[in-house]
Structure 1
Amino acid sequence: MLNVNSHNPWADLGLAAPPPPQAAKKELDQAAFLRLMTEQLKNQDPLKPLGSQEFLAQLAQFSTVQGIHSLNSTFQGLAAAMMDTQALDAVSLVGHDAMVVAERFGYTGGGIEGEIGAPMAGRITYEISNAAGEVVHRGALDANRPGYVPFAWDGLDAEGKPFPPGEYRIAARVSAGDRTEAAVPSIKARVDSVSLTSQGIVLNLSGLGAAPLSAVRRIG
């Protein structure tokens, strides 16, 4: 078998190897566009020169593309700056209480507080059930007008014994005459930490888990 030792002929001559060929650009940048237009003007048919309107149209087309590219870059920078600002604002929420729209919550004892959003004036009724779907508490509130009405649950049964920790659910509705509509409950929870995800800023809440910043109705 013939063994061929690979060697670098450029090194043998004391020269540096030429750089590898670069892949052809798929996009026409400003310098390439200007060179192309210069060659077009130099090699145009003298009997049919490029008209001023056509020349200006090409310039306008390139300017539009460049403008869109610059605008996209500006918007990307603006979005990044807004994200940084929101992140700093969200970090300042750690340790504070937040009123968060939620139908499920992790109960650890000591009761809960929250609000129920009524779409109209009327009688609000709500139920709290455990993970098995058993109703452990029923309550009623009066909404004098559309808006939020506070509620509280002490976490005790009819005999005054505390319910065990676990996952619970709250459902609410408001009735006025023959009309009944769903009401939106919110739970008060402490902000433990903040996460920055590809979907945006997420608050990690005690008893509620992760919730997007958009689910927070009020802080404090």
Structure 2
Amino acid sequence: MSTVGSTASSDSLYSQYALPNATSKNASTGGMGQADFLRLMTVQMKNQDPLNPLKGAEFLGQLAQFSTVQGIENMQQAMGAMATVMENDQSLRAAALVGHDALVDVDKVQLGSGVGASGEIVANRAGPVQLEIVDASGSVVRRLNVDAKDAGATKFTWDGKDDSGNAVPAGQFTFRATAGSGKDTEALAVRLAARIDSVSIEPQGLVLNLAGLGGYPLSSVRRIG
């Protein structure tokens, strides 16, 4: 008679005590099921060497191995179900954002004729800040002077008109903000505000579709208000 030591796995059990009417692998999972394992354990105990029977510790060790694998599989299934619930909950919450304004780190925007824009300039310190609105050809159509009260976000609004007071034609515009002068001039980050038209569920996560700006992941949004 063959005997199985404490290091025998479920696969070795199967090869030594294979059941005629049992399948070697579970069709749905690609591995042995719990019922298959217990049947093999029963056959093993029936056919063990009476002079060298399976010790209780060995039996418990084999059962513990199977229980560990089974527990990991159950945990993976539970985690997958939890992830699905969280994703659905996040999607429902994001849908409530439609119609609100979002502030994102972007300096370019596609605007219609005479349509302005608003947002924030991230100032490094208090003092005057110059904002230039540049069209697709590289020409500066408007210069705005903004007074930063302190370091941090400083709001601005552009009415869609050039320096002469005329509505600018439709097109893509770049917003450039600087502080200081001469060699001390430094570029500042610009954030633009836009309305959230819709929310898309993409493989990489939730994407907010902003009017005139396009789609941006939720992680890139700095503020919603």
- Secondary structure, in 3 states, of the residue corresponding to 2:50? coil
Tell me the alpha carbon deviations over residues 148-184 of structure 1, each in whole angstroms, 9 at most, x when there is no partner. 22122222222112221112223445669x8877643
- What is aligned with 1:83? 87
* Contact 1:172–1:184 (Cα < 8 Å) also in 2: yes
* Contact 2:200–2:206 (Cα < 8 Å) also in 1: yes
Tell me the alpha carbon deviations over residues 22-68 of structure 1, each in whole angstroms, 9 at most, x when there is no partner. 99532122111212222222222333333333322222222222222
- What is aligned with 2:41? 37
Gaps of 5+ in 2: 1-22
**Structure 1 segment 181-200 matched on structure 2, within 5 A:** 183-200=188-205
C-alpha change, 1:68 and 1:24, in structure 2 (3 Å) is: closer
Equivalent residue letter for 1:63: S
TM-score (norm 2): 0.73
* Contact 2:118–2:192 (Cα < 8 Å) also in 1: yes
Equivalent residue letter for 2:110: G
- What is aligned with 1:61? 65
- What is aligned with 1:112? 117
Distance 1:110 1:214 in 2: 27
Distance 2:187 2:57 in 1: 64
Distance 1:87 1:148 in 2: 29
Range with bigger deviation, 126-135 or 79-88:
126-135
C-alpha change, 1:127 and 1:33, in structure 2 (3 Å) is: farther
In percent, how many aligned pairs have the same letter?
48
- What is aligned with 1:217? 222
Distance 2:96 2:43 in 1: 59
Equivalent residue letter for 2:59: F
Residue 142 of structure 1: how far off its partner (Å): 4.7
* Contact 1:122–1:174 (Cα < 8 Å) also in 2: no
- Secondary structure, in 3 states, of the residue corresponding to 2:173? strand
- What is aligned with 1:101? 105
Tell me the alpha carbon deviations over residues 190-213 of structure 1, each in whole angstroms, 9 at most, x when there is no partner. 111222222222222111111222
- What is aligned with 2:207? 202
Tell me the alpha carbon deviations over residues 108-137 of structure 1, each in whole angstroms, 9 at most, x when there is no partner. 23311101234x435555443323344434
